[in-house]
Amino acid sequence: MKRSTVVAEFPCDCKTVWDIVTDNKNYRWRSDLSRIEVINETCFDEYTKEGFVTRFRITEKEPYRIYRFAMENKNMCGNWIGLFEKRDGGTQITFTEEVQVKNPIMNLFVKGYLKKQQAKYIADLKEAIRS
């Protein structure tokens, strides 16, 4: 398994950050997605702008604290956990992704790919909070 963690702080309360991150019906702030299809209250599919689909299954959801899910697509499977903490009038998030790639050659590139995706996600989230 390859692991990547990103930590960021936002100048707003946990509820604001939580509501944006966990609202799968409002995905337009994500620059990498064309759509999210909600299957039921614990499963959803994310589609990249290139049409690549990843299935997510929520495994833990404790409002304003923990959001965790399993994920899988044709290239990888793994887990994601988001931790939300109050910090001096703001919110700190810690998002950790652990994946196992299905093609061994991709192991060479997956860590860099995860870091790039996490940086894009945080940049998009910061912009969504500013809006």
pTM over the 0.75 mark: yes
Q: Where do the DSSP E strands lie in 51-126?
A: 53-62, 66-72, 76-87, 90-101
Q: What pLDDT digit, counting tens, does each position of 46-79 carry?
A: 999 999 999 999 999 999 999 999 999 999 999 9
**Which ranges of the chain does DSSP label H, i.e. alpha helix?**
14-22, 110-130
Positive or negative, the Cα torsion across 126, 128, 129, 131?
positive
Query: Could you tell me what percent of the chain has a pLDDT over 70?
Result: 100
What fold characterizes domain 2-130?
Answer: Alpha-D-Glucose-1,6-Bisphosphate; Chain A, domain 4 (3.30.530)
Distance CA 91, CA 110 (A): 28
Chain centroid to CA 65: 15
